Amino acid sequence: MVKKFKNKTLAWLDYRLPVFSVLHEALVTHPTPRNLNYWWNFGSLAGITLLIMIVSGLVLSMHYVPHVDHAFDSVEHIMRDVNYGWLIRYIHSVGASMFFLIVYIHIARGLYYGSYKSPREVLWGLGIIIFMLMIATSFLGYTLPWGQMSFWGATVITNIFTAIPLIGDNIITWIWGGYSIDNPTLNRFYSLHFLIPFLIVGVVFFHIVALHKFGSNNPVGIDLTNKKEKIPFHPYYTIKDLFGFGIFFTIFSLFIFFAPNVLGHPDNYIPADPLVTPSHIVPEWYFLPFYAMLRAVPDKLLGVIVMLSSLFILFIIPWLDTCKIRSSKFRPFYKQFYWIFIFNFFILMWVGSKVPEGYFLIISRISTIYYFAHFLIVMPLLGKFEKTLPVPNNIFVISQKK
């Protein structure tokens, strides 16, 4: 279905380069389930946040100096001397937290409504790749201000590579570009921090292509066959997404203008000092659950394996979940386990901020085991034994009930 443009120039160009008709299909006519709730706003929110991060980051890169002697000062130069530099920097630093908040909710929505199930396994996998690239980008970005937490966070995380048997020490020297974290490390981290967001944009493109192949999943989780069940993307979802942007920008602004540092760590306003270790090294809040899993295991190599597995396991959940019904609405038992899983994730986040001793260590171990048990035991078994509720064959039955 190729759109015919009235404007002759546009029609001429589109005939040869069909980007306009593709965009028209994606943003205007794309048939979308009419029953999507507000949880489906978070995809477009993630997109706009990525854009905000790239634009604000580009401006920051024009003033930032990636050198161990100047990085911290150049960030303060941005904060004090560059016109509205404080605004651009706070947009970027708060934006990183907002991006993760949005993407966590986006993933949680996919888990609840079974958006990873056939035929959307690749769509889901691409999303997980985006999430992993985001983790890499934000870790690299956090080292750039070269404060105490930047330096020591980078030390802790790069030390993970020494867990690799036999060649670990050689690999870390290669990654650092020397025998300790120093100027070559900062330079390459800056260069990679600039590169990876554009890789994310590329994967987002594939994520959208895969999405448009079968269209969005929906709260009922059934394939929509009736034409009346779908509505054009524009104006219904363009306006709904814009409303979502409005709510998000309001929350975002509250942080930027009134609590810009509440999500960060005060130690990062102390210039990096390789001779002074902070009493308590913690990553940003969005890494805490994974940090908790890393430290829950007494062995270094096993800890790293557990942490990486906690991410990679997300790729295979379309096959671990044996239930054919997508939406948790019709899975009364899975729904309970889902909320326990979410609660457990918050517990991991909380213990991740604590020193792993005594009760905290025990809690982090139980929570880590539960995290994996949810995917490896609950998902495969519930699909076989759960008594599910009857699934309607169209979405109107549900909306009439309400």
Partner 1 sequence: MTRNIFFYLILCFFFFIFSSFNSYSFDDLKLKKQNWTFTGLFGRYDTGSLKRGLQIYQEVCSACHGVKRLRFRELQAIGFTNEQIKEYASTFEILDGPNDKGEMYTRFGNPGDTFIMPFQNEQEARAAFGGAYPPDLSLITKARKNGPDYIYSLLTGYEDPPVNLNLSDGLYYNPYKEGKIIAMAPPLYDAAIQYIDQTNPSLHQLSYDIVNFLNWAAEPELEKRKSLGLKVLLFLIVLTSLLYVTMKEIWSRIEK
Residues in the site for partner 1, rule: CB under 8 A?
34, 37-39, 76, 79-80, 86-87, 101, 105, 231, 235-236, 239-240, 242-243, 246-247, 249-250, 253-254, 256-258, 260-263, 266-267, 269-270, 279-280, 282, 285, 346, 349-350, 353-354
Catalytic, 8? Answer no
Instruction: State the minimum distance, in angstroms, from the CB of residue 217 to partner 1.
Output: 15
Catalytic one among 229, 267, 284, 386? 284
Query: Whole-number minimum distance, CB 60 to partner 1, in Å?
Result: 16
CB of 241 to partner 1, least distance (A): 10
| 240 in catalytic set | yes
Does the annotation count 70 as an active-site position? no
**CB nearer to partner 1: pick between 78 and 304:** 78
Which of 117, 240 has the CB closer to partner 1? 240
**Catalytic pick from 21, 44, 150, 216?**
216
Question: Least distance from C-beta 392 to partner 1, angstroms?
Answer: 18
Pairing of strands 31-33, 230-232: antiparallel
Rounded to the nearest whole angstrom, what is the least distance from the CB of residue 28 to partner 1 in the complex? 14
Please report, in angstroms and rounded to a whole number, the separation of the first and last CA atoms in the chain. Answer: 36
Measured between alpha carbons, how far is residue 145 from residues 60, 140, 277, 351 in Å?
A: 11, 10, 17, 26
Candidates 77, 212, 234, 300; catalytic one: 212
CB of 322 to partner 1, least distance (A): 26
- Supply the minimum distance, in Å, between the C-beta of residue 182 and partner 1: 19
User: Is the peptide bond prior to 31 cis by the omega test (within 30 degrees of 0)?
Assistant: no
Distances (CA, A) of 189 to 87, 218, 245, 281, 359: 24, 40, 31, 20, 36
Residue 241 bears catalytic tag: yes
- Answer yes or no: 216 catalytic: yes
Instruction: CB nearer to partner 1: give 13 or 342.
Output: 342
Q: Which is nearer to partner 1, 165 or 358 (CB)?
A: 358
Which residue out of 229, 241, 321, 386 is catalytically annotated? 241
Question: Distance between CA 52 and CA 64 in Å, rounded?
Answer: 18
- Interior angle at CA 33, CA 30 and CA 39, nearest 5: 110
Q: Using the minimum distance from each CB to partner 1, give the nearer residue, 45 or 304.
A: 45
Nearest to 138 by CA among 121, 118, 153: 153
Contact 388, 329 (CB under 8 A): no
Helix-helix angle 332-352:288-296, to 10 degrees: 80
Q: Which CB sits closer to partner 1, 86 or 315?
A: 86
Nearest distance from residue 249's CB to partner 1, in Å? Answer: 5
Residue tagged active-site, from 92, 193, 207, 240: 240
Task: Kindly tell me which of 79 and 297 has the beta carbon lying closer to partner 1.
Answer: 79
Query: At which residue do the structure tokens 């999507």 appear?
Result: 36
Nearer residue to partner 1 within complex by CB, 117 or 354: 354
Q: What amino acid positions are annotated as catalytic residues? A: 212, 216, 240-241, 284
